[in-house]
Structure 1
Amino acid sequence: MTQGVGRIGRYVRMVAQPGQGSALAEQLMRVADGLRDAPGCELYIINRTPDEPDTVWVTEVWADAAASDAALSRDMGEAGIGEVLALLAGPPEFVDLAPVGGPGLR
């Protein structure tokens, strides 16, 4: 996702193979831990959907497109992306955003 300058955001919806929602959420938490010190990562939250046990949402906010692109171009095997992909029932769905602000964002 490449946009103009400024903060960018994204919702990512992932559906795990049947019965693998918890495993997907746990693996995504490992990815989140790997991004804890990534430059420009302002928010990377893993969310579960109560009525869809195999669906996991990721909420991301980055300082700018360059920070997001740099994080995605890192050695993602180290972050556990390969394990995430193995758990998916299909490709992730992305919704790109332009964060405006609110509690939790500086």
Structure 2
Amino acid sequence: MVAVPGSGAALAEGLLKVAEGMRTAPGCELYVVNRTPDEEDAVWVTEVWSDEAASDAALNRDLGEAGFGEVLPLLAGPPEFIELNPVGGPGLS
């Protein structure tokens, strides 16, 4: 996600609040907010879900309930999604 100029830290903080809400979301195995040292307004979220249905259910929650309502005004544009299929490694059940 790319924040409006100068709002990268605020976007990351808002997404950390979303991450707290994801702790109890059924099927959420990983939800990590990341920043890069060379892109001040870029924030990456790494998510791992038990299955597509769990991910869809989380995306279909009320935006305010999930905390996304607070971060949407900070976005410079729509988030880019990159879908991956993990094949294994430490940290995955």
TM range (shorter): over 0.9
Across the two proteins, how many residue pairs are aligned to each other?
A: 93
Q: Map residues 77-88 of structure 1 onto 2, 5 A cutoff.
A: 77-88=64-75
Q: Map residues 19-38 of structure 1 onto 2, 5 A cutoff.
A: 19-38=6-25
1:89 matched to 2:76? The reply is yes
1:75 to 62, 69, 73: 62
Higher RCO (Cα < 8 Å, 6 or more apart): 1
Long gaps (5+) in structure 1: 1-13
1:76 CA displacement = 2.1
Measure the CA separation in 2 of the matches of 1:34 and 1:92. 19
1:56 CA displacement = 0.2
Measure the CA separation in 2 of the matches of 1:57 and 1:81. 15
1:74 CA displacement = 1.4
How many percent identity over aligned positions? 75
Bigger mean CA deviation after superposition, 55-64 or 80-89:
80-89
Long gaps (5+) in structure 2: none
Measure the CA separation in 2 of the matches of 1:39 and 1:79. 13
- Give, as a single letter, the amino acid of the residue that structure 2 aligns with 1:28: L
2:53 to 66, 71, 75: 66
1:44 CA displacement = 0.5
1:45 to 32, 51, 73: 32
- Give, as a single letter, the amino acid of the residue that structure 2 aligns with 1:17: V
Off by >4 Å, runs of 4+ in structure 1: none
- Give, as a single letter, the amino acid of the residue that structure 1 aligns with 2:87: V
Calculate the aligned-residue CA RMSD, in Å: 0.7
- Give, as a single letter, the amino acid of the residue that structure 1 aligns with 2:66: A
